[in-house]
Amino acid sequence: MCGIAGIVRFDDQPIARRRAESMLTHMLHRGPDGHGISEHPRCTLTHARLSIIDRLGGTQPMHSARSADGGPLHLIFNGEIYNHRELRAKLGKLGHSFTSDHSDTEVLLLGYRAYGNELPKHLRGMFAFAIWDEEQRVLFMARDRVGKKPLYFCRRANELTFASLPATIAVGTDEPTTPDPQALLTFLRFGYPFGSSMLKGIDEVKPGHWMTVAADGSTQTERYWRPPPISRTSTSIGAVDSVEQVLDEAVAVRLEADVPLGCFLSGGIDSSLIAALAQRTLKARGGSRLKTFSITHSDTDYDESPHARAVAEHIGSDHTELRADPSDLIGDLQRLMETTGEPTADSGILPCHWICQVARPHIKVALAGDGGDELFGGYDRYRALAILARHRWWLRAAPRGLIRSSNGRSRRAMLRRLLDASAAGPRPSQQYAGMTQLFNDTQIRSLAPELGSALTTDPMIDWPDEPDTIHAAMRWDLAHYLPHDLLRKADRASMAVALELRCPMLDTQVVDLAGHLPTSVLMPGGRAKGLLRTLAARHVPASIINLPKRGFGVPIGRWFRGVHRGALTDHLTGPTLDGLGLDRKAVRRYLEEHQNGRADHAHRLFALLQLSLWGQWLQSQAVGETN
């Protein structure tokens, strides 16, 4: 895992080294083990390394000299290639010679020699990389299939700048850093922007895509992977065994590391199953016990450490409970903002960051359970879509205004969300938006009047054309919610302390198999994650199997009414949000309703707090640009 950045010019003007040095300095938190700058005519590459595999032989930027297959190549890479040993053997048979012992980075470099733009199709792993072909003056960039590793770029005038994070691009350019109004609107709706950053002009290489940048500035983008077609004939016969086989292999290949490795254990189905399979594999190999970690805090409604402890005892892992300290919540969010350069409305970034922070002295790599809900049907909103398909005709007439709750996890709150979705529109995409949106259209018009004219009746872009509405929602989450919220959050929270997260659930083979299975197999009888629960029952305690989904959360709503009430008020009632076009009276109304217990606005207030911190960061950037 690393940080990467670079600049490509489309003319013969030199690239100032200070810009590369600024970007390198900014992303050193992602790679404290080594760094380098590689300068070439029209291109400068920058790399900060977190060494995990072949710590001696994987130095970057990595170079390949001129050969019979082409001119010099220069590579920077963030991620892990889990099938690097198989690819190394194949490339050796094709006549390619390696200088490293087992570097997956060199496999990418020589793999590009052999396969060119087809290289990503051969890769199994998480990756974002860039290769500069010095002779052809072409930059090739690629990103893994589901977007586990980030890759942003900015095209301005006669150059293209790219990096692992928007903030890294911002510090490497002399152009002003300004908000993107469309991204801000999408953030208010869903809590994250789609396919771009919150900064104007900074976009993403999409998951499952590669992109080339030619000498004249022209670009080409191609999608090399898409989810498989959904089977109309598959049954549950053999499905559990098939999932266990591919998931077991996905876990096994992610246990390779030349540094200490462990597993995060929340006590839920996904992380418990991953930990159980990892422990079984290590035992079969004759290795030491798997190190598992969970965090504890005082709020029993959110503390899942007893469940994690039960799983650890059952599988026989070497378990450690770590105490999270939320006392410096605002300071933690400010530090994350400085590293990333954009907000996230997902308060789960806090416990994710805290467990990474306290586990980092013990391990350098951690397995995690991300992806299970999107692939195997774990969200209540999937079942809600099925309810709406049958009962919307009368639910939309129910009196929504009479149903209120100050607890976002209560049954009343869930019923209110269902009624709101029933009134959102006749299409499943509109109903799903009604269940997942942060602020609805009416609230946005009040909160951000200048953005009201950009509102559309159906904000769910690229809604899959699937007759099975549950599978359509799962596909939409796989393409939007997972990469733009969950995986962004996980990457930023973990790499802020230079810890690598690996997600076996998001292995290519697991994603392909789960994506192929119909809803009736994934959720038999409408049971959330029914197939995965059946598999988990083979490996984890029975007490864990039927626990309700709680997520990896914190009592942010209670903190906003208590210990962090004053800090929240200071941030939301100051002038910072005015600069983003938000109405101060509307903000204060959400604040007062929540703190007085009349409503639960915890997620909205967290989003507004993040926007306030982002506004402060933007102001600091503007000051830096004028100095």
Q: Is the pLDDT of residue 457 over 80?
A: no
Let me know: does 596 contact 331? Beta carbons within 8 Å: no
Of 484, 277, 272, 307, the C-alpha closest to 492 is: 484
CB-count exposure of residue 64 (10 Å: 0-12, 13-18, 19+): buried
Half-sphere exposure of 175 (CA within 13 A, CB side): 19
- Domain range summary for the chain, segments of one domain joined by +: 2-223, 239-376+476-545, 380-471, 556-626
Number of neighbours of residue 578 by Cβ within 10 angstroms:
12
The domain defined by 239-376+476-545 folds into Rossmann fold (3.40.50)
By three-state DSSP, how is residue 368 classified?
coil
What pLDDT does 79 receive? 96
Number of neighbours of residue 395 by Cβ within 10 angstroms:
17
Please compute the mean of the pLDDT values over residues 579-590 and round it to a whole number: 96
DSSP 8-state secondary structure symbol assigned to residue 547: P
Q: Which helix (H) or strand (E) holds 462?
A: none
CA atoms of 409 and 415, how far apart (whole Å):
10
What pLDDT does 303 receive? 77
Please compute the mean of the pLDDT values over residues 532-539 and round it to a whole number: 96
What pLDDT does 406 receive? 58
CA atoms of 117 and 113, how far apart (whole Å):
10
Provide, for the chain, the percentages of residues in helix, strand and coil under a 3-state DSSP scheme, each rounded to the nearest 5.
Answer: 50, 15, 35
Let me know: does 159 contact 607? Beta carbons within 8 Å: no
Let me know: does 189 contact 139? Beta carbons within 8 Å: no
Let me know: does 362 contact 497? Beta carbons within 8 Å: no
How would CATH label the architecture of 2-223?
4-Layer Sandwich (3.60)
Please compute the mean of the pLDDT values over residues 381-391 and round it to a whole number: 89
Q: Confidence band (pLDDT; 50, 70, 90) for 234?
A: confident
Of 67, 147, 136, 63, the C-alpha closest to 106 is: 63
Q: Which of 101-105, 256-260, 489-493 has the highest mean pLDDT?
A: 489-493
Q: Is the pLDDT of residue 397 over 80?
A: no
Q: Kindly provide the residue ranges of all beta strands, DSSP E only, lying in 136-208, ordered along the sequence.
A: 138-143, 152-156, 159-163, 202-204
By three-state DSSP, how is residue 76 classified?
strand
Of 7, 144, 176, 174, the C-alpha closest to 80 is: 144
Let me know: does 253 contact 259? Beta carbons within 8 Å: no
Strand order in the sheet with 43-49: 34-40, 43-49, 2-9, 159-163, 152-156, 202-204
Of 592, 517, 529, 595, the C-alpha closest to 563 is: 595
Residue at token pair 């950045």: 5
Digit-coded pLDDT (tens) for 476-531? 999 999 999 999 999 999 999 999 999 999 999 999 999 999 999 999 999 999 99
Alpha-carbon Rg for the chain in angstroms: 24
Q: Confidence band (pLDDT; 50, 70, 90) for 551?
A: low
Number of neighbours of residue 580 by Cβ within 10 angstroms:
18
Residue at token pair 């953030």: 187
Q: Confidence band (pLDDT; 50, 70, 90) for 404?
A: low
Token pair of 470 as six digits: 């549950």
Q: Confidence band (pLDDT; 50, 70, 90) for 300?
A: low
Dihedral Cα 47, 52, 53, 58, nearest 10 deg: 20
Q: Confidence band (pLDDT; 50, 70, 90) for 46?
A: very high
**Terminal Cα-to-Cα distance of the chain (whole angstroms):** 33
Dihedral Cα 239, 284, 80, 495, nearest 10 deg: 100
Digit-coded pLDDT (tens) for 273-299? 999 999 999 999 998 999 999 988 777
Q: Which residues contact 393 (CB under 8 A, 6 or more apart)?
A: none
Of 329, 283, 308, the C-alpha closest to 544 is: 308
CA atoms of 146 and 151, how far apart (whole Å):
12
Q: Kindly provide the residue ranges of all beta strands, DSSP E only, lying in 175-304, ordered along the sequence.
A: 202-204, 209-213, 219-223, 261-264, 291-296
Q: Confidence band (pLDDT; 50, 70, 90) for 167?
A: very high
Q: Which helix (H) or strand (E) holds 232?
A: none
Number of neighbours of residue 241 by Cβ within 10 angstroms:
9
Strand order in the sheet with 365-367: 318-323, 291-296, 261-264, 365-367, 500-502
* Mean pLDDT estimate for the chain: 92
CA atoms of 439 and 422, how far apart (whole Å):
16
Residues forming a β-bridge with 74: 63, 132
Digit-coded pLDDT (tens) for 6-30? 999 999 999 999 999 999 999 999 9
Q: Looking at the chain, how many residues does it have?
A: 627
